[in-house]
Amino acid sequence: MKNLMKLFTVALLTLIVNVAMAQTSIVGVWKTMDDETGLAKSHVEIYEQNGKYYGKVIKILDPNKQNSVCGECDESDSRYNKKVLGMVIVTGLVKDGDEYTDGEILDPNKGEIYDCEMWLENGKLMVRGYIAFFYRTQTWYKVQ
Protein backbone atom coordinates (compact mmCIF):
# COMPACT_ATOMS: atom_id res chain seq x y z
CA MET A 1 0.00 0.00 0.00
CA LYS A 2 2.87 2.40 0.81
CA ASN A 3 4.43 1.80 -2.62
CA LEU A 4 1.10 2.51 -4.29
CA MET A 5 0.78 5.81 -2.36
CA LYS A 6 4.35 6.78 -3.33
CA LEU A 7 3.63 5.99 -6.97
CA PHE A 8 0.41 8.00 -6.87
CA THR A 9 2.19 10.95 -5.20
CA VAL A 10 4.97 10.94 -7.82
CA ALA A 11 2.43 10.75 -10.66
CA LEU A 12 0.41 13.61 -9.19
CA LEU A 13 3.48 15.79 -8.70
CA THR A 14 4.61 15.07 -12.27
CA LEU A 15 1.20 16.09 -13.59
CA ILE A 16 1.22 19.32 -11.55
CA VAL A 17 4.71 20.24 -12.76
CA ASN A 18 3.77 19.53 -16.40
CA VAL A 19 0.61 21.63 -16.17
CA ALA A 20 2.49 24.50 -14.49
CA MET A 21 5.22 24.42 -17.14
CA ALA A 22 2.70 24.32 -19.98
CA GLN A 23 1.05 27.46 -18.66
CA THR A 24 4.31 29.40 -18.44
CA SER A 25 5.67 28.78 -21.92
CA ILE A 26 4.52 30.28 -25.19
CA VAL A 27 6.10 27.41 -27.13
CA GLY A 28 3.53 25.55 -29.23
CA VAL A 29 1.01 26.09 -32.00
CA TRP A 30 -1.40 29.01 -31.68
CA LYS A 31 -4.47 30.00 -33.69
CA THR A 32 -4.16 33.66 -34.63
CA MET A 33 -7.18 35.93 -34.49
CA ASP A 34 -7.53 39.17 -36.41
CA ASP A 35 -8.17 41.93 -33.86
CA GLU A 36 -10.01 44.00 -36.50
CA THR A 37 -12.36 41.33 -37.92
CA GLY A 38 -12.43 38.76 -35.11
CA LEU A 39 -11.79 35.98 -37.65
CA ALA A 40 -9.28 33.16 -37.23
CA LYS A 41 -6.45 33.61 -39.74
CA SER A 42 -3.69 31.08 -39.29
CA HIS A 43 -1.74 28.76 -37.05
CA VAL A 44 1.64 30.03 -35.89
CA GLU A 45 4.20 27.75 -34.30
CA ILE A 46 6.17 29.52 -31.56
CA TYR A 47 9.54 27.89 -30.91
CA GLU A 48 12.72 28.61 -28.96
CA GLN A 49 16.10 28.80 -30.65
CA ASN A 50 19.32 29.83 -28.88
CA GLY A 51 17.43 31.49 -26.02
CA LYS A 52 15.12 33.53 -28.27
CA TYR A 53 11.58 32.86 -29.45
CA TYR A 54 10.29 32.89 -33.01
CA GLY A 55 6.95 32.31 -34.72
CA LYS A 56 6.38 30.65 -38.08
CA VAL A 57 3.12 30.47 -40.06
CA ILE A 58 2.40 26.75 -40.46
CA LYS A 59 -1.23 26.90 -41.63
CA ILE A 60 -3.43 29.47 -43.36
CA LEU A 61 -7.09 28.96 -42.56
CA ASP A 62 -8.64 30.83 -45.50
CA PRO A 63 -8.45 28.48 -48.53
CA ASN A 64 -8.35 31.50 -50.84
CA LYS A 65 -5.13 32.78 -49.23
CA GLN A 66 -3.05 29.59 -49.33
CA ASN A 67 -0.64 31.07 -51.88
CA SER A 68 -0.59 34.64 -50.57
CA VAL A 69 2.75 36.45 -50.56
CA CYS A 70 4.07 39.41 -48.61
CA GLY A 71 3.78 41.86 -51.50
CA GLU A 72 3.52 44.81 -49.11
CA CYS A 73 6.80 43.96 -47.34
CA ASP A 74 9.70 46.33 -47.87
CA GLU A 75 11.70 45.28 -50.92
CA SER A 76 14.84 45.10 -48.78
CA ASP A 77 13.19 42.55 -46.46
CA SER A 78 14.11 38.95 -47.36
CA ARG A 79 10.39 38.07 -46.99
CA TYR A 80 9.34 40.43 -49.80
CA ASN A 81 7.13 38.59 -52.33
CA LYS A 82 7.67 35.28 -50.48
CA LYS A 83 4.82 32.97 -49.51
CA VAL A 84 3.31 33.72 -46.11
CA LEU A 85 2.85 29.99 -45.46
CA GLY A 86 6.13 28.89 -43.90
CA MET A 87 7.21 32.48 -43.17
CA VAL A 88 8.79 33.46 -39.84
CA ILE A 89 6.74 36.46 -38.70
CA VAL A 90 7.86 36.68 -35.04
CA THR A 91 11.56 37.17 -34.34
CA GLY A 92 13.88 37.65 -31.40
CA LEU A 93 11.58 37.53 -28.36
CA VAL A 94 13.38 37.13 -25.03
CA LYS A 95 11.77 35.73 -21.89
CA ASP A 96 11.68 38.37 -19.15
CA GLY A 97 9.84 37.04 -16.11
CA ASP A 98 6.29 36.24 -17.21
CA GLU A 99 6.60 38.20 -20.46
CA TYR A 100 8.42 37.75 -23.73
CA THR A 101 9.81 41.07 -24.97
CA ASP A 102 12.24 42.82 -27.31
CA GLY A 103 11.06 41.00 -30.43
CA GLU A 104 9.44 42.00 -33.68
CA ILE A 105 6.31 40.84 -35.47
CA LEU A 106 5.46 41.21 -39.15
CA ASP A 107 1.91 41.83 -40.34
CA PRO A 108 2.28 40.17 -43.76
CA ASN A 109 -1.00 41.69 -45.02
CA LYS A 110 0.26 45.24 -44.49
CA GLY A 111 4.00 44.60 -44.74
CA GLU A 112 4.49 46.42 -41.44
CA ILE A 113 6.98 45.33 -38.78
CA TYR A 114 6.14 46.16 -35.16
CA ASP A 115 8.01 45.83 -31.90
CA CYS A 116 6.46 42.85 -30.13
CA GLU A 117 5.81 41.45 -26.70
CA MET A 118 3.77 38.44 -25.62
CA TRP A 119 2.41 37.04 -22.39
CA LEU A 120 0.04 34.32 -21.27
CA GLU A 121 -3.30 35.24 -19.74
CA ASN A 122 -5.72 32.50 -18.65
CA GLY A 123 -4.26 30.02 -21.15
CA LYS A 124 -4.45 32.51 -24.03
CA LEU A 125 -1.49 34.17 -25.70
CA MET A 126 -1.66 37.95 -25.72
CA VAL A 127 0.32 39.36 -28.65
CA ARG A 128 1.06 43.07 -28.71
CA GLY A 129 2.63 44.83 -31.66
CA TYR A 130 3.53 48.47 -31.17
CA ILE A 131 5.26 51.52 -32.55
CA ALA A 132 6.10 54.07 -29.83
CA PHE A 133 2.87 54.54 -27.83
CA PHE A 134 0.55 53.09 -30.46
CA TYR A 135 -0.22 49.39 -30.24
CA ARG A 136 -2.55 46.58 -31.24
CA THR A 137 -3.15 43.52 -29.12
CA GLN A 138 -4.40 40.22 -30.45
CA THR A 139 -5.50 37.16 -28.49
CA TRP A 140 -4.22 33.86 -29.85
CA TYR A 141 -5.57 30.46 -28.77
CA LYS A 142 -3.64 27.27 -28.18
CA VAL A 143 -4.28 24.64 -30.85
CA GLN A 144 -5.18 21.33 -29.21
CB 93 within 8 A of CB 52: yes
> CA 128, CA 118: separation in Å to the nearest integer?
6
Number of domains in the chain: 1
Residue 36 inside a domain? The answer is yes
Looking at residue 108, which CATH number applies to its domain? 2.40.128.520
- % of the chain exceeding 70 in pLDDT: 83
Q: Is residue 118 part of a domain?
A: yes
- Contact 108/73 with Cβ under 8 angstroms? yes
Give 144's DSSP letter: -
The pTM of the full predicted model, rounded to 2 decimals, is 0.82
CB-based contact 40:54 (threshold 8 Å)? no
The 10s digit of each residue's pLDDT in 66-84 is: 999 999 999 999 999 999 9
Reported as a pLDDT band with limits 50, 70 and 90, residue 113 is very high
In a domain, 17, yes or no: no
CA angle 125, 17, 55 (to 5 degrees): 30
Residue 21 lies in a domain: no
Residue 10 has pLDDT above 90, yes or no: no
- Find all residues with CB under 8 Å of 2, minimum gap 6, and list them: none
What is the extent of the structural domain holding 31?
Answer: 26-142
